Chains A and B, each alone.
Chain A
Amino acid sequence: METIVFYILVIVTLFCAVKVVTTPLVFRAAIYLIGSLLGMAGFFMLLGAEFMSAVQIVVYVGGIVVLIIFAVMLTSEPGGMQDRPDIKRTIPAAIVSGLVFFGLVYVFSLTEFKRMYPVEQNKGLAQAIGEKLLSLGPDGYILPFEVVSVLLVAALIGAIIIAKKERGE
């Protein structure tokens, strides 16, 4: 059962991903991206990290893709959002990415990933993540958490400043 779902998800995700990078229509690419991300959310669900899939959908699809769509709209050139594929560019890119893929696969095939810790699930996932993020102990990620918040604030301010209209002050 799991296998079938897995393969369906694989087909959906990969198909959408391929379309993202090949379709000449920019807006469609954004939509395909949504599809791809949803597929990935499905993977997370399949793996048992349901919190993550929720986060994925909310943040990625709901936030980032919306942002992308805004950008697509704002930067639409007259004459349509065309991005025709160009052989001179795609061939080297294909070669390089192909090599990367095969390299990665090869490296993965060399390693035997052994299950390391016994399954121990008495807490809910969300609770576990929350605790991890905010704990002060040696195992805690409170510092990166705070840093990331600062990063977000910086990004926020930066984005506003870059994109705002000049008023000539």
Chain B
Amino acid sequence: MDAGIQTTSVQLGWFLQNAWLIPLLPFLAFLVNGIFLQKYHKVAAAVSVGAMGLAATVALGMCLQFFAGDFAQPIMSIRWEFLRFSAGLYAEMGVMLDRISVMLATVVAVVSFLIHVYSIGYMHGDTGFARFFACMSLFTFSMLGLVFANNIFQIYVFWELVGVSSFLLIGFYYYKPSAVAASKKAFIVTRFADLGFLLGVLIVSYYTGTFDFAQLQSEAALSVLAGKSFMGISLLSLAAVLIYCGAAGKSAMFPLHIWLPDAMEGPTPVSALIHAATMVVAGVYLVARLFGLFAASGAGLEVVMYVGTLTCLFAALIAFTQHDIKRVLAFSTLSQLGYMMLALGVSTSENAMGFTASMFHMTTHAFFKSLLFLAAGSVIHAVHTNDIWEMGGLRKKMPLTHLTFLVATLAIAGVPPLAGFFSKDEILVAALENGHPFVFGVAMLVAGMTAFYMFRIYFVTFWGKPYEKDIKRYEHAHESPLVMTVPLLILATLSVVAGFLPFGHNVYYGVPLEHHGVNFGVAIPATVVALIGIAAAFALYSKRGTMAARIANSMGQAYRLVLHKFYIDEIYLFVTKKIIFRFVSEPLHWFDRHIVDGTMDRIGEITIGTGRILRKTVSGKVQTYAITVTGGFLVLLFALWHYSKVVGG
């Protein structure tokens, strides 16, 4: 590979050739914004939004040109090598266009643009207005760099960058201790997971001698990895599981999910962009990117499947009890991510329907989840509270928000013909076809649960009587400005039509899926389950009855367990504080303070002490000086004389 920027010279459309603009534009916006425009709020916003708009346009063009062209091989828009470790192993930055990268990049760019526009309204008046846009641009750049990566080194670099951006954005309200704690938690948990990721990267790149995704997953490379083993586990599986650690951290799979609910401390557009549509799907994307690796190691995909299924169920269960609207959405995201992971997990290299289903669900979920968050943000903006029990009857006060929220909720519940139905359906079919009935059953159950808890918040927020204890809240509530509602409408439209995007034909692993009609054996039960869930929610929550509370009380202990998210956070805190801090951190701290620092201090003290002693020689007595000089002179003379004698002079 020659160094330097290498662009393709095949006959490609303009958007395809210049796809590298897509990550570059937000990066430039970040630099300009961050360095120069921190005082000029309106200009900063304009720069970021404008850059994102341009990037989104290029992305759409790229998407159209790519899928129209039906390219067999991925296109490399740029490759720039900057570090060479050995003959075959080099680190480079590249922009690679293939089916999943084009798809996800387009989604990221478009959704990010819409959220940027929304933020103009939502963040209005905040002192950190310009800083917000700088961070958002940085984040978008990092995410796009991750998506377009053509080698595992680059994806790791941008992985960490995304983590940093997330840290900056979760802790945006840095004066709130809870926000600071949440951003630290997110960063630490994901960083800890990335340790596994890094180990996986090292194992893979060392034994196969390359970072490049295509070469990594070639037959030769995979067989090398499969051939070696460590402590009885084949390196291939080990690497897959380790890399999955990183993916599990970023995508908040159980038990590394703890950071995602707390991440809701960030502003709502942040939650919409990062923790619903884009960053959290990075883990799923990574598994998809390395699907060849995972598919070749049987254990890898099994782990993915089981962890995904568990998370799916676990999160849905907790979502039943939460009353902070953003928390419910967070757990819902967790549950949907579980769906995406399990879809990947059930696939094999021969039948990769789950792969397509996962990518499909990623796309539709991006649309309706970000819509849910933005609409929730609109509501929060209007009533100044997150707690659903302090809302009520808002459908008359905020018609547009209400409408779009309803559309999104229907989509996530899987009601046809909205987008969520199609993507969830594909996942269910994939699970069934690949022979995992248990997973299929759980997924079906969770579909019903999803419908229930989503409509729970829908009914409590928008129906029923307004909150009695603070009627002013209800009276002051008003619809949000256009700059916030237009993105909502666009996303709502996308949530409706995205189901009809021809995914099977365009996004696949290995071979395109044959077009088959809707599998009514799965679709009808799924729809029925969803409708049951909606009906149950309607019965319990549409009017403010006490039935819901009575059911909750009758479950007593179990209810409390779920409400406290199974006490997982408390367990983590216990382990870190009582065990790690006491037995690891404190001794290390003592060592650092007394031995490392102590050595330095002692050396300093010795120097001072020696100096103090040596000072006494400067006594001011001339004769002492004279004796010393003469004596020294004599010694020198003697030495010279002796030396000349020895040398033979």
Nearest CB of B to A139, in Å: 33
Whether A89 and B623, one on each chain, are in contact in the complex, defined by CB atoms closer than 8 angstroms, is: yes
Which stretch in A7-15, A93-101, A115-123 binds the other chain? A93-101
B630 and A100 within 8 A (CB):
yes
Q: Is the CB of B630 within 8 A of A96?
A: yes
Within 8 A of B (CB), among A69-99: 89, 92-93, 96, 99
Expressed in whole angstroms, the Cα–Cα distance for A168 and B85 within the complex equals 83
Interface pair B627/A99, CB less than 8 Å apart:
no
Q: How far is the CB of A142 from chain B (nearest CB, A)?
A: 35
**Contact assessment for A103 and B623 in the assembled complex, using a CB-CB cutoff below 8 Å:** no
- Which residues of A have CB within 8 Å of B631? 92, 96
A99 near B623 with CB under 8 A, answer no
Q: Please classify how large the interface on chain A is, using the bins under 10, 10 to 19, 20 to 34, 35 or more.
A: under 10
Please tell me if the beta carbons of A93 and B634 are within 8 angstroms of each other in the complex. no
**B442 interface residue, CB < 8 Å from A?**
no
State whether B637 touches A93 (Cβ < 8 A): no
| Measured CA separation A161–B631 after assembly (Å) | 36
Whole-angstrom distance between the Cβ of A162 and the nearest chain B Cβ: 18
Rounded to whole Å, the gap between the CB of A85 and the closest CB of chain B is: 13
Q: Which residues of B contact A96 (CB under 8 A)?
A: 627, 630-631, 634
Distance in angstroms between the alpha carbons of A110 and B637 in the assembled complex: 16
**Are A92 and B627 closer than 8 Å at their CB atoms?**
yes
A89 to B634: give the CA distance in the assembly, Å. Answer: 18
Q: Mark B632-643, 1 if CB is under 8 A from A, else 0.
A: 001001000000
Q: Which residues on B sit within 8 Å (CB–CB) of A100? A: 630, 634
Give Cα distance in the complex from A96 to B625, angstroms.
Answer: 13
**Which A residues are CB-close (under 8 A) to B623?**
89, 93
Closest-by-CB residue of A relative to B634 is A99
B323-370 residues at the A interface, CB under 8 angstroms: none
Inter-chain CA distance A45–B349, complex, in Å, is: 123
Report chain B residues within 8 Å CB of A103: 634, 637
CB proximity to A under 8 Å, residues B592-649: 623, 627, 630-631, 634, 637
CA distance A99 to B638 in the complex (A): 10
- What 0/1 pattern do residues 116 to 159 of B give for CB contact below 8 A with A? 00000000000000000000000000000000000000000000
> A100 CA to B634 CA in the complex, in Å?
7
Nearest-neighbor residue (CB-CB) of B637 within chain A: A103
Closest Cβ–Cβ distance, residue A54 to chain B (whole Å): 33
Residues of A within 8 A of B630 (CB): 96, 100
Which residues of A have CB within 8 Å of B634?
Answer: 96, 99-100, 103
Bound Cα distance A93, B622 (Å):
13
Q: Complex formed: what's the CA distance from A89 to B626 in Å? A: 12
A103 to B631, CA, bound (A): 12
Tell me, rounded to whole Å, the shortest Cβ–Cβ distance linking A117 to chain B.
30
- With A and B bound together, what is the CA distance between A89 and B623 in angstroms? 9
Mark each residue of chain B from 381 to 399: 1 if its CB lies under 8 Å from any CB of chain A, else 0. 0000000000000000000
Q: Which residues of B contact A89 (CB under 8 A)?
A: 623
B150 to chain A, nearest CB (A): 82
- B633 vs chain A, min Cβ distance (A): 9
Across the two chains, which residue of chain A brings its CB closest to B631? A96
Q: Which residue of B lies closest to A93 (CB)?
A: B627
B331 CB, min distance to chain A CBs, angstroms = 90
Q: Return chain A residues, CB-CB under 8 Å to B637.
A: 103
Per the bound structure, the CA–CA distance linking A99 and B632 in Å amounts to 12
Chain A residue nearest in CB terms to B630: A96
A90 to chain B, nearest CB (A): 11
Taken residue by residue from 98 to 110, chain A's Cβ proximity to chain B (1 for < 8 Å, 0 otherwise) reads as 0110010000000
What's the least CB distance linking A97 to chain B, in Å? 8
User: A96–B637 Cα gap in the complex (Å)?
Assistant: 13
Q: How far is the CB of A100 from the nearest CB of chain B, in Å?
A: 7
B483 to chain A minimum Cβ distance, whole angstroms, is 87
Closest to A92 in B: B627
Q: What's the minimum C-beta distance from A23 to chain B, rounded to whole angstroms?
A: 18
The complex places the Cα of A99 from the Cα of B637 at a distance, in Å, of 11
A135 to B198, CA, bound (A): 93
Residues of B within 8 A of A99 (CB): 634
B392: shortest Cβ distance to chain A, in Å? 99
CB distance from A84 to the nearest CB of B (A): 15
Tell me which residues across on chain B come within 8 A of A93, comparing CB atoms: 623, 627
Taken together as a complex, chains A and B put the C-alpha atoms of A96 and B634 apart, in Å, by 8
- In the complex, what distance in Å separates the CA atom of A139 from the CA atom of B623? 40
Distance (whole angstroms) from the CB of B621 to the closest CB of chain A: 10
Tell me the bound Cα distance from A129 to B81 in angstroms. Answer: 89
Distance between Cα atoms of A92 and B630 in the complex (Å): 11
Name which of A93, A96, A100 has the most chain B CB atoms within 10 A of its CB. A96
Q: How far is the CB of A51 from chain B (nearest CB, A)?
A: 34
Q: How far is the CA of A93 from the CA of B627 in the complex (A)?
A: 7
State the Cβ distance, B431 to closest chain A Cβ, in Å. 100
B contact residues vs A (CB 8 Å cutoff): 623, 627, 630-631, 634, 637
* Chain A residues within 8 Å of B, Cβ to Cβ: 89, 92-93, 96, 99-100, 103
Given A93-B623, A96-B630, 12 more contacts at CB 8 Å?
A: A89-B623, A92-B627, A92-B631, A93-B627, A96-B627, A96-B631, A96-B634, A99-B634, A100-B630, A100-B634, A103-B634, A103-B637
Q: Which 9 A-B pairs have the closest CB atoms?
A: A96-B630, A99-B634, A92-B627, A96-B631, A96-B627, A93-B627, A103-B637, A96-B634, A100-B634
- List 14 interface pairs A-B (beta carbons < 8 Å), by A numbering: A89-B623, A92-B627, A92-B631, A93-B623, A93-B627, A96-B627, A96-B630, A96-B631, A96-B634, A99-B634, A100-B630, A100-B634, A103-B634, A103-B637
